Structure 1
Amino acid sequence: MSTKGEAFAGLSVAVVTPFKGDEVDYDAFRAQIEFQIDAGTNCICPVGTTGESPTLTHPEHERVINFVCETANKRIKVMPGVGSNSTAEALRLTKVAEAAGADAALQVAPYYNKPTQEGFYQHFKRIAEESGLPQCIYNIPGRTGKNVEPETIIRLAELQNVTMVKEATGSLDQASTILGATNLTVLSGDDSLTLPLMSVGARGVISVVGNIVPRDMIALCDAVDRGDLAQALQWHRKLFQLCRDMLGLSTNPIPLKAAMKMLGRDTGEMRLPMTPLEPGQEASLRKTLTAYGLL
């Protein structure tokens, strides 16, 4: 069955924001974008969780959106993080992304203020109705403090511009409920759950580990699409420990930036309150990268 956000099936990568001397390093950022284009990645998602949007100023956030859209130049889709716990601010950022030429908007559920389900509905409804961009609802209650319940997402699916869900609840039951009741494109928000979620009908992943091994994540998604579950399982098992380290050793994107530094692709710099891996964690990560064949 065709889904509303089918154009975003496959691999999207939640790209890092490179820093150098506490400033955004646009030269390194350009190299990261070209790396994803060369790999055949379908879409990049800047200024999300992995892109450290909480520590960017509003002007920096807007400049990154504009820079990524301009650099991508329609050679790869761009779905920037534009969510906020203020509906007015989320709408403002969405319009910035739309004007910049983004292809969709990644809308994290409002965090900290813990809206009711009706509050979630009205928040996403207003943005969807006042923007022309396809909207991807990013549901990650482990960070936001509250789940957008399936019933709310089912209501939102009736809106024309709500086309996708980034599913990061960790619940196959929730994903299955949404998939059974809507024609939304569901994308995994947890790398290690990509195969399980695709097995019940999800169409791809917005990936962290794709910053390092995009071709391998594409191979996993392609294998599922071909119905070659044995090959997909091989990729899942190969990727599993790497995925677990990226999200399990410490808070995202701390392990990812450490890995990219080890691989010579980033300075590893972050802004407070994000701090580097402990020495033991770093040694564990280096062991995983070596075992995978990256070092």
Structure 2
Amino acid sequence: MLNEIFHIAVPTAFYDDETLNVEGTIHHIENLYQQGVRSVFVCGTTGEQHSLSLGEKLELVEGIDTNNKLTNNMEIIFGVASVRQKEAEELAKHISKTNITAVMIGYPPYIKPSQEEAFNYTKSLVSISGKDAILYNNPARTGFDLEVDTINKLLSMKDIIGIKEAGEKTKIQHLKIESDKQLYIYAGGEQGLEDSVRHGFNRLSSIAGNLAPAEIKNWFEALLKNEKLKGAEIHKVENVLNKVYSGTPLVNIKEELNSQGVKLGSCRTPIGN
């Protein structure tokens, strides 16, 4: 069960030679915890997941799982996806033995599986992980769109508790949710967030929260209540959003955090070239 309505999709830290920096990634998560954040999404939304080898993903899982401060006090959601299903299954198997709270199932880019292939891929990963699972549909980045009929078939699995829909927002109005099941609908990032809430999205997978977690959370909670922030508060939010989304968000976030002493390094080229 995921109790937090808001999680932050954290960047992956790299050294100058682009090798994985597990300690840097964990340090950023610990820093967010000190700012009141109680849920993070690792290895996914920021677009770096598919640049990581299976070995690097396993190393990141191990580093987080052995940090009891994180796993005992935070909801850790880990992204599971791969162009090769066997590698995604190996990752899911490893996660099943950890204290990681949940998985977010992403779809492989470029290869465009059929709906049936995607259904079987998802079913296998959810079953192997043994964790609560969120579906992550992002057709603009993967070239694959999880259709409503496929989603509805998947929702019959009790462990699938949510969907992060970065495609057509009206799709969620056609989901068939059993009366005894609570389904969490995650907005992917802050762009168009007001519209997402109007369409029925009830949770947020935040990008800008890496820089201003309290401000973004307060804004999102106000939107859910159909309330408006006061002038100074909304001005702070607008400044953060402009800083993050003017250009490449991941590059902007890392540059800002690096300047604050949170060493996340650069992005893996060509991002940040």
Q: TM-score, normalised by structure 2?
A: 0.86
Separation in 2 of the partners of 1:68 and 1:191?
Answer: 26
Task: Give 1:248 deviation, angstroms.
Answer: 4.9
Partner of 1:43: 39
Q: Aligned to 2:6, which of 2, 8, 11?
A: 11
Q: Using a 3 Å threshold, how does the CA distance of structure 1 residues 176 and 229 change in structure 2: closer, same or farther?
A: farther
Deviation, 1:233, is 9.9
d(CA) in 1 for partners of 2:241, 2:151: 27
- Offset from partner CA, 1:213-256 (integer Å, 9 cap, x none): 1111221233245x252239986665346335534512x52222
Give yes or no for contact 2:212–2:240 (8 Å, CA) kept in 1. no
Q: Which residue of 2 aligns with 1:243?
A: 241
Instruction: Compute the RMSD of aligned alpha carbons.
Output: 2.6
Distance 2:212 2:169 in 1: 25
> Which residue among 254, 259, 263 is the counterpart of 1:257?
254
SS of the residue aligned with 2:194? helix
| Aligned-partner residue type, residue 219 of structure 2 | L
Comparing 112-121 and 199-208, the one that deviates more: 199-208
Aligned residue number for residue 199 of structure 2: 200
Whether contact under 8 Å (2:24, 2:264) holds in the other structure is no
Whole-angstrom CA distance in 1 between matches of 2:78 and 2:230: 28
* Alpha-carbon distance in 2 for matches of 1:34, 1:179: 38
- Cross-structure match for 1:83: 81
Q: Whole-Å Cα distance in 2 between the matches of residues 103 and 232 of structure 1?
A: 35
| Structure 1: stretches of 5+ with no match in the other structure | 277-295
* Matched position secondary structure for 1:229: coil
The equivalent residue for 2:149 is 151
Q: TM-score, normalised by structure 1?
A: 0.80
Answer whether contact 2:7 2:38 (CA < 8 A) is retained.
yes
**2:169 equivalent to 1:175:** no
**Aligned to 1:19, what secondary structure does the other structure show?**
coil
Q: Distance in 2 between matches of 1:190 and 1:234?
A: 22
CA distance in 2, matches of 1:133, 1:232: 40
Closer, same or farther: CA 8–107 of 1 in aligned 2, 3 Å? farther
Which of the residues 32, 38, 43 maps onto 2:28? Answer: 32
Question: Which amino acid letter does the alignment assign opposite residue 205 of structure 1?
Answer: L
Q: 1:195 to 1:9 in 2, by over 3 A?
A: farther
Matched AA of 1:266: K
Preserved CA contact (<8 Å) 1:105 1:133: yes
- Contact kept, 8 Å, 1:46 with 1:65, in 2: the verdict is no
Q: Which residue type is aligned with residue 14 of structure 1?
A: A
Structure 1 position 264, deviation (Å): 3.2
CA contact (8 A) 1:192 1:244 kept: no
Residue by residue over 1:162-202, the C-alpha shift from the partner in whole angstroms, topping out at 9 and shown as x without a partner, is 11111211x32123333878742111112223333233332
> Any gaps of 5 or more consecutive residues in structure 2?
none
User: Contact conserved, 2:189 with 2:208, CA < 8 A, in 1?
Assistant: no
Q: By how many angstroms is 1:267 displaced?
A: 5.0
Cα separation, 2, equivalents of 1:128 and 1:190: 24
The number of aligned residues is 268
One-letter amino acid of the structure 1 residue matched with residue 195 of structure 2:
P
Deviation digits for residues 125-160 of structure 1, max 9, x if unmatched? 222233311111111101110211122111111111
The CA deviation at 1:10 is 1.7
Which residue identity does 2:39 align to in structure 1? Answer: C
Supply the distance in 1 between the matched residues of 2:256 and 2:4 (Cα, whole angstroms). 26
Partner of 1:109: 107
Is the partner of 1:48 in helix, strand or coil?
coil
Q: Is the 8 A contact 2:9 2:206 kept in 1?
A: yes
Instruction: Return the alpha-carbon distance in structure 2 between the equivalents of residues 237 and 153 of structure 1.
Output: 38
In the aligned structure 1, how far is the partner of 2:156 from the partner of 2:26?
Answer: 37
- 8 Å contact from structure 1 (residues 223, 232) kept in 2: no
